[in-house]
Structure 1
Amino acid sequence: MREKPTFTGEPRDPNSRDLDICVVTCALSGVLASRKQCPAIPYTPVEIAEEAKRAYDAGAAAVHIHARNDDGSPTFSPAVFARIKDEVRQRCPVILNFSTGTLLDDVSEQCATLRESRPEIAALNMGTMNYSKYSRARKTFDFDMVFPNTYAKISKLLGAMNEAGTKPELECFDTGHTQGTWPLVDMGLLKPPLQFSFIVNVLGGIPAHVESLQLQTRIMPPGSEWEVIGISHGQWRMLAAALVLGGNVRCGLEDHFYLPSGEMARSNGELCEVAVRMVRDVGRRPATVEEARQILGLHDGGVARAAGGAAS
């Protein structure tokens, strides 16, 4: 039988990666969805933390977080992110992945959040793109925008991440985003092993095909970690494809509201339960928080343990 590596909490050796283990991440709310669309979308720090706990209890090792004002509108306030971190840490030790995405060129609030809250992971959008949603029924666009992510903007965020000891999760909506990481590695701003998220099924990005994932994983540097983010319909099929190809997976209300049955999910925990079951059904198993931390090359972000096993 193949010898399994021992997880020690130290940054991983890419050559010892056990592909039977899958890191499950849950994206709790996103920035656009509202309770009019899905009643389970969390808004307040307490609601977000409760959803993080449900995801953790269902088997997620990490949660991806966008901050909201209490009325559900988006905010980039460092103080709100800090409150979210505190509320989550009172409930569970799940790995925190903070969003840094913004349409603005000014990323000062995002950089302040990174330096003050020091999340273990932060999502980093890797290229400019059309970001749109089209309605076939109405023959019109629900929204149509340009999502600007220049190298100057990316470099500012990377500088703050490196200062905070935060691992960048490289969000790539298309192959050019993945290929375009090499100058940042050459400059020393990105340090291998890299962590990629391949987003599929966003209009303006790569389509939700198995071949899309195969191409993206050929382009990324050897030894990188990757996950699939399947947006809207077809998400469960793309998670299945990633599991077969040896990738990690992300689920959650940011990406898709519905269970495979077509029923709207009542919590992020319900979506995580399905993802974890899929992991086990293909002969893999979900990573624990400690295993995910090593697989992703995290350094624990200086997080201490609080009473009851949660990190403070």
Structure 2
Amino acid sequence: MSKKIILSAALTGAGDTTSKNPDVPVTPKEIADSAIKAAKAGATIAHIHVRDPETGGLSHDVNLFRETVERIRESDTDVIINITSGGGGDWVPSEDDPTRGGEGTDIQTPEERHEPVGELLPEMCTLDCGSTNFGNMLYVSPTDWLRRQAKLVQESGVKPELECFDTGHVRFANQLINEGLIDGDPLYQFCLGIPWGAAADAETLSYLKSRIPENGRWAAFGIGRMQMPIVAESILQGGNIRVGLEDNMYLKKGQLATNEQLVDKAAGIVETLGSDIMTPAEAREELNLLNPYGKED
């Protein structure tokens, strides 16, 4: 196979993982340093969440995003920056009153979710394309909210990565395209193995990719032990890949990983299957991205 592969590194995520792996980055400096190391190991894209430096928990603080992005941009290492815009969607019904959110609920409006993207203008951002059962929590992203958020992303000139955790999310992503809310060739990310979304297997991946338009590009990732199998399967089926501590904490059974180790392992799979990883410059051309300073290449 000859197609070059875009490799994303999802550095930290928002889950309760910092107590399970000491190499999950928390502070803006740690996240930026991890992005730089991942890029040097071969990552094309760094996908960024931020965390509260004091607690290690989820944060939506724009200043933390700003510091992280500035540290990456000021380094000598080139990598495409992809900021999450999916924060603030967690709903856990209260046991006392199920009409209200209980402990763990964290809901933001579309405008609040978009704020780091709109202020910092990264080259890419995620756009979660629907609500889903996420373990025992509901991730809330109603369709009218998504239309508002897609419009904000479109007006910012940032490239949305359409995150699809189930088949219906692909259908709605296609609807956003039909309504003129996604510019250019769309880019999908198939998120596989999340309880209780789309399964992490070859059949599900094949179905999802069959439902996107001809000009669509796609990537996929699996969580936990399915991370590397989905890397291989995505390459074989003609897509791009994602690895990182957001989705999996182990290099192999019993051995905790770093982001750069996961990138290096995925790069080895790419090479074994006869392909190469795209550089950030090549991916900018492939995806028609803005450069890190908000101007077209």
Q: Same fold (TM over 0.5)?
A: yes
In the alignment, structure 1 residue 196 sits paired with structure 2 residue 196 = no
Q: Pick closer, same or farther for the CA change 1:274–1:197 going to 2, 3 Å.
A: same
Q: In the alignment, what sits opposite 1:49?
A: 32
Structure 2 residue 230 is matched with structure 1 residue 247: no
For structure 2, list consecutive stretches of 5 or more residues without a partner in the other structure: 90-106
The 3-state SS of whatever aligns with 2:26 is coil
Encode CA deviations 1:47-66: one digit per residue, 9 max, x unaligned.
00000011000000101110
Amino acid at match of 1:299: L
C-alpha deviation, 1:156, in angstroms: 2.2
1:261: Cα distance to partner? 5.6
2:115 maps to 1:117: no
**CA-to-partner distance for each residue in 1:51-96, whole Å, 9 max, x for gaps?**
0011000000101110111121211122211111101112222111
| Residue aligned with 1:64, SS | strand
Unaligned runs of 5+ in 1: 1-17, 133-143, 305-312
How far has the Cα of 1:182 moved from its partner? 2.7
* 1:265-290 per-position Cα deviation (integer Å, ceiling 9, x unaligned): 1x211110001111111001000010
Tell me the distance in 1 between the aligned counterparts of 2:227 and 2:185: 26
Aligned length: 275
Q: Which has the larger displacement, 196-205 or 87-96? A: 87-96
Mapped to 2, the partners of 1:69 and 1:83 lie a distance apart of: 13
Measured in 2, the distance between the counterparts of 1:224 and 1:154 equals 19
Q: Deviations over 1:98-155 (max 9, x none)?
A: 11112125133332212210011101110111110xxxxxxxxxxx111111122212
- Deviation of 1:263 after TM superposition, in Å, equals 1.5
User: Relative contact order: is structure 1 or structure 2 higher (C-alpha 8 Å, sep ≥ 6)?
Assistant: 1
Cα-Cα RMSD: 1.6
Residue 238 of structure 1 aligns to a residue in which SS? helix
Query: In 2, are the aligned partners of 1:195 and 1:225 still within 8 Å (CA)?
Result: yes
1:160-184 deviations in Å (ceiling 9; x for gaps):
2112211110010111110122321
**Identity percentage over the alignment?**
31
Paired with 1:301 and 1:42, the residues of 2 have a C-alpha distance of 22
Residues 130-209 of structure 1: matches in 2 within 5 Å? 130-132=133-135, 144-209=136-201
Whether the 8 Å CA contact 1:44–1:69 is kept in 2: the answer is yes
- Give the direction of change, closer, same or farther, for the CA distance of 1:262–1:249 in structure 2 (3 Å limit): farther
| Counterpart AA for 1:100 | S
1:165 partner letter: G
1:88 and 1:42 mapped to 2: Cα distance? 14
CA contact 1:166–1:301 (8 Å) conserved in 2: no
* TM-score computed with the length of structure 2 as normaliser: 0.89
Matched, 1:297 2:288: yes
Correspondence list, 1:228-307, <5 A: 228-260=220-252, 262-265=254-257, 267-300=258-291, 302-303=293-294
CA deviations 1:214-241 (Å, max 9, x no partner) are 0001001112111111111221111110
Indicate the residue corresponding to 1:93 in structure 2: 78
